[in-house]
Structure 1
Amino acid sequence: MSNKPIFVATHPRACSTAFERVFMTQRDTLQCVHEPFGDAFYFGPERLSVRYEQDQKARAESGFENSTYKTIFDNIMKENEEGKRIFIKDITHYLSPPDGKPASIAPSLMQVKRGVGTNGSNPLTDIANGSKGSETNGAVEKSPPYPYATEAEPGNPTVVPTEILNKFHFAFLIRHPKHSIPSYWRCTIPPLDAITGFYNFMPSEAGYDEQRRLFDYLRSCGQIGPKLAGQDGEQKSGVADICVIDADDLLDNPSAILEQFCKSVGIEYSPSMLNWDNEEDHTQAKEAFEKWKGFHEDAINSTELKP
């Protein structure tokens, strides 16, 4: 079984933060990283979203104005210094240009793509060692920054080189849009918009198109499949099962779904993972979810995952 960092790719309002809380209880063996790539997507010099394009003050006040895709990978590497397995939960469309626009590699990751620091010795250290000494790690500030003056990879719908995508064990979490879209819309209108800072609903942030295109790409290049999670049989070495969780199934039968998920990604399952009603778990969650205020209140105030 692969020990690659786990990347749970999802779209907004898919019950993904409640799902993440399950694995935040495993502090001894897992290092959870909560939605890191939104920093670059919305605020940094390689930003892909236009949400804050005309609001330089908001970008500066976010604290992520200088965050590139490479600095985020660097920070993930630092999270791994204790030797725990990394567990990332993030929004898939943070890795892709909005509205189906063609993707090219993020400037800060171009040197990694050229082969610097990609010898496979450590999946995260290799990324971090890719380029040094550049103030913005290769990103050139212009407004808007996208499209980049960089090359594209055929078929790759993201701004992340395939060499880097291949260093992660991907699984997918989805939810029916009849639930997720109204939930997201409520975060962009009064009174919640004053807390979230998202003052208009942008259909491009629904995330379903990007989710499907990344899934199809990883499958086409052999990073996931053909074996389905839960099926008997051996999977090829270094290849992840096809693991797609429907949030409705998760909410209906959390213990069974999580047990199968853990088996698929190589985590030891325990029923105790489904309860986090203690001060240490609540403190950890409040700190981790602080940067996306207004989006995670239900997950922060929850105590367990049950039908």
Structure 2
Amino acid sequence: MAPLKPIFCATHPRACSTAFERVFMTRKDLACVHEPFGDAFYYGPERMSVRYEKDEETRKASGFNNSTYKSIFDQIEEGSEGKRTFIKDITYYLLPPDQQPAKIAPSLDSKKRGIGTETVVNGVNGSSHKPPFPYPTEGEPGNPTIVPQSLLEKFHFTFLIRDPHSSIPSYYRCCIPPLDKMTGFYEFYPSEAGYDELRRFFDYTREAGLVGNQIAGGSRENVNGSPDKPEICMIDADELLDDPEGVLRVYCKSVGLEFSHDMLNWDNEEDHARAKAAFEKWKGFHEDAIDSKDLKPRAHKKAAKTEAEWDAEWKEKYGEKAAKVIRDTVDANMADYHYLKQFVLKKA
């Protein structure tokens, strides 16, 4: 029997993904890797984000200014210590911003062109304020990422989503005072909502056969496609928060793990230390997850709100101008969220 592939949970910002990740950090049979590809996306010589393009000092201070996509993949493999790996990361770290055509990251490009990453960095399209992307490489037909399909095929992909009405204002809050001083994100980028990239990547995984057509927990009758491909395993954060055990039982079965109630509690010194060390590099984003002790059903399901009630809440918290930015960003991402929600796993 072939060894089980590393699990890669692909998500967007503020999807309760770090709380979800803490569940798997309790397991001694897994090597958990927390959001590794942001290092290359924001700080490294193959960076695609403009967030720190004018701030070389911050890029250097991060300690990741030399991180390439290849070096991160290599570190993941080397750090597994023979265990199965569980990666949780933001999907848009692997896709060019603003729907730009994808080109394979130079460090992962198997075609030698005589152009190294250093050349890419120094030749920043005639401006010191543009990131090294687009790269002087080619993309793969149909592949929206900067990672070759041959490498993506080595992972078992799962997905996590959350209603934009909750995730977008949560992300906005991380980009304004007082949290911005902790996060280092001093401006909210609507382009970092992440739903468009997650939808396009999800569709690609199906088209490329990285996942099959069967939805996790669903009936296996009348299923088209190869039964040996991973199931579509997608979680909606609200369902996770309402019924952690029910969702996790289906998820674990789908990815080939044995569920244990112990996964839902991490109130011990060892687990807290592991989480604090893992989340240290993204300060300000994960304080709630760091301080948490367990994952139990929330006392009350999220109350339904009208759009007017959402608008009023955002206006009260962040002001009229910010509320409009949040509203526009939520509206721009709802179609992608509803599309992905069709594929959420089925509980027994």
TM-score, with structure 1 as normaliser: 0.89
Tell me the distance in 1 between the aligned counterparts of 2:207 and 2:48: 25
Q: In 2, are the aligned partners of 1:181 and 1:206 still within 8 Å (CA)?
A: yes
Name the larger-Rg structure: 2
The aligned residue for residue 120 of structure 2 is 140
Tell me the distance in 1 between the aligned counterparts of 2:183 and 2:138: 34
The aligned residue for residue 39 of structure 2 is 39
Q: In 2, are the aligned partners of 1:104 and 1:153 still within 8 Å (CA)?
A: yes
Tell me the distance in 2 between the aligned counterparts of 1:87 and 1:137: 28
The aligned residue for residue 227 of structure 1 is 214
Tell me the distance in 1 between the aligned counterparts of 2:140 and 2:3: 25
Q: In 1, are the aligned partners of 2:45 and 2:118 still within 8 Å (CA)?
A: no
Instruction: Give 1:232 deviation, angstroms.
Output: 4.3
Gaps of at least 5 residues in structure 1 are 117-133
1:269 corresponds to 2:268: no
Instruction: Give 1:217 deviation, angstroms.
Output: 0.5
Q: In 2, are the aligned partners of 1:71 and 1:137 still within 8 Å (CA)?
A: no
Q: Percent identity?
A: 65
What code does the residue aligned with 1:74 have?
D
3-state SS, counterpart of residue 178 of structure 2? coil
Tell me the distance in 1 between the aligned counterparts of 2:155 and 2:101: 23
> In structure 1, which of residues 149, 158, 173 is the aligned counterpart of residue 160 of structure 2?
173
Change in 2 beyond 3 A, CA 1:210/1:2: farther
What code does the residue aligned with 2:191 have?
S
Alignment of 1:277-296 (within 5 A): 277-296=267-286
What code does the residue aligned with 2:278 have?
A
Instruction: Give 1:227 deviation, angstroms.
Output: 1.1
Tell me the distance in 2 between the aligned counterparts of 1:159 and 1:227: 27
Give deviations 1:208-231, integer Å, cap 9, x for gaps. 000000000010111112111112
The aligned residue for residue 183 of structure 2 is 196
The aligned residue for residue 95 of structure 2 is 96
Q: In 2, are the aligned partners of 1:2 and 1:238 still within 8 Å (CA)?
A: no
1:78 corresponds to 2:78: yes
Q: In 2, are the aligned partners of 1:68 and 1:139 still within 8 Å (CA)?
A: no
What code does the residue aligned with 1:92 have?
T
Change in 2 beyond 3 A, CA 1:226/1:179: same
Give deviations 1:237-287, integer Å, cap 9, x for gaps. 652100110000000000000000000000110011000000100000000
Tell me the distance in 1 between the aligned counterparts of 2:247 and 2:143: 30
Q: In 1, are the aligned partners of 2:45 and 2:117 still within 8 Å (CA)?
A: no
Two-structure CA RMSD over aligned residues (Å): 1.9
Tell me the distance in 1 between the aligned counterparts of 2:3 and 2:208: 17
Gaps of at least 5 residues in structure 2 are 125-130, 298-348
Instruction: Give 1:140 deviation, angstroms.
Output: 3.0
Give deviations 1:66-100, integer Å, cap 9, x for gaps. 000000001001112x2110000000000011111
Tell me the distance in 2 between the aligned counterparts of 1:219 and 1:138: 35
Instruction: Give 1:139 deviation, angstroms.
Output: 7.0
